[in-house]
Amino acid sequence: MITRNEILETNRMIDDMNLDVRTITMGISLLDCADADIDKFNEKIYNKITTYAKDLVKTGDDLAKKYGVPVVNKRISITPIAIAAAGCETDSYVSIAQTLDRAAKKVGVNFIGGFSALVQKGYTESDRKLIASLPEALAVTERVCASVNVGTSRNGINMDAVKEMGEIILQTAEYTKDRECIGCAKLVVFCNAVEDNPFMAGAFHGVGEGDCAINVGVSGPGVVKKALEEVRGADFETLCEQVKKTAFKITRVGQMIAQEASALLDVPFGIIDLSLAPTPAVGDSIAEIFQEMGLAEPGAPGTTAALALLNDNVKKGGVMASSYVGGLSGAFIPVSEDHGMISAAEKGALTLEKLEAMTCVCSVGLDMIAIPGDTPATTISGIIADEAAIGMVNNKTTAVRLIPVIGRGVGQSVEFGGLLGYAPIMPVNTYSCAPFINRGGRIPAPIHSFKN
């Protein structure tokens, strides 16, 4: 029998500490929609998505009511379009993005991810078309998220793609400069992208996945922060133990919701992604966890160690709680989506270089960072190359989601609204890396990739 204290503890987590199921993401394969005629392809993907996901939003909402825990987002991930649409005889994939946007609106999900290409070792013609379509596709759609994987630990880094993505990010910003360059907030450049990530903007449904799967992302930085208040001043063993126990409880809720969603929708359960994902709300912040651990501001010396122990113990608690933990599982450090990170960046406590160091030990990378609009494309490529190198050498996922804010510079800010928050424009090292980026070709896979 559950005790009164246990009931009240769960409800305090939900009501006062922002415990929620951040997303139920339905992964849908579009491989069977291939068609040489792009109009027919668009019709097939629209029909498949709107059929498979027709009850997704209602199911999420019903589960939220049944268990009294918010299910914040209902989303869809799809087979990377550069693969699914490879047979289409066309020059541009913009109409596909528009179709995905219509499908997302029809079923009521707030994002659909998978307008993506995987080019870690080279480009197909389809990859080229997709990447060239990105700036316009992200400008004319609202809910479509895109990603490009430019490197893996097994394959090395495609530096041609790194160079091109610097240019594409700037073009995407230019295409949406009347809307705070929002296009760039929907575009992620990955190294070691994962195939079952339910979180946006980097979600896609990998080719090794089945026809359809339910992946669930749980969150709860506020719960971790409150739990750490109870062990203020205690040693690291106690601190780590507290993070682990909390992560376990949070993940158990996600596991239960995922299994039930999977049963109700009659779709196989994929994975639980236990990621501490902040929102701009007070009490839902990774920065507050750092402060509770004893750092005056995120960015202070010790921040990388704090993030490393947080990330590791979140995983340790999470794997015990679910049969299938996957996705990115760890801690996200998006600047614009966390009020404590925004404030630290505004004060100068948190710099781009420190964020880069932090990405060595967190679950993703340089995320939702606004930079000056006059940053050269090669410099953006240099930042992508650095992140990809960290991911490649450390066998982890890294990502770059930068927003060059056209017409604005350091000291100004950009306001996205909603979950995407706002961000101060951060200074970027102004020394050139253009000759390095312009070399072209591939960086070979690191020595420790040869594990066979």
Partner 1 sequence: MEKAVITVLGNDQVGITAKVCTILAGQNVNILDISQTIVDTYFNMVMVVDIAKANVTFEAMGEELAAAGDAMGLKIKVQHTAIFDAMHRI
Residues forming the site for partner 1 (CB under 8 A): 1-2, 4, 6-11, 62, 65-69, 249, 252-253, 255-256, 260
Residue number, 253 or 344, with CB nearest to partner 1:
253
SS3 312: helix
Residue 247 CB, nearest approach to partner 1 (Å): 12
How far from 25 is each of 280, 334, 405, CA to CA, in Å?
Answer: 21, 20, 30
Q: Which residues contact 42 (CB under 8 A, 6 or more apart)?
A: 95, 96, 99
Report which DSSP code applies to 441. Answer: S
Q: What angle do CA 354, 304, 14 make, to 5 degrees?
A: 110
Residue number, 68 or 441, with CB nearest to partner 1:
68
Residue number, 154 or 252, with CB nearest to partner 1:
252
Q: What angle do CA 398, 332, 401 make, to 5 degrees?
A: 50
Residue 433 CB, nearest approach to partner 1 (Å): 49
SS3 297: coil
Residue 178 CB, nearest approach to partner 1 (Å): 42
Residue 10 CB, nearest approach to partner 1 (Å): 5
Residue number, 258 or 428, with CB nearest to partner 1:
258
Residue number, 176 or 215, with CB nearest to partner 1:
215
Q: In this structure, what are the phi and psi dihedrals at residue 141, rounded to the nearest 5 degrees?
A: -120, 165
Task: Output the six-digit token pair for 422.
Answer: 């706002």
Residue 326 CB, nearest approach to partner 1 (Å): 19
How far apart CA 14 and CA 208 sit, in angstroms, is 35
Query: What residue ranges in 58-106 does DSSP mark as E strands?
Result: 71-78
Residue 428 near residue 380, CB atoms below 8 Å: no
Residue number, 14 or 34, with CB nearest to partner 1:
14
| Pick from 6, 4, 25, 2: nearest CA to 272 | 25
Handedness of CA 424, 429, 435, 441 (dihedral sign): negative
Residue number, 6 or 32, with CB nearest to partner 1:
6
Residue number, 215 or 291, with CB nearest to partner 1:
215
How far apart CA 405 and CA 403 sit, in angstroms, is 6
Residue 71 CB, nearest approach to partner 1 (Å): 12
Q: Which residues contact 266 (CB under 8 A, 6 or more apart)?
A: none
Residue 327 CB, nearest approach to partner 1 (Å): 19
Residue 249 CB, nearest approach to partner 1 (Å): 5
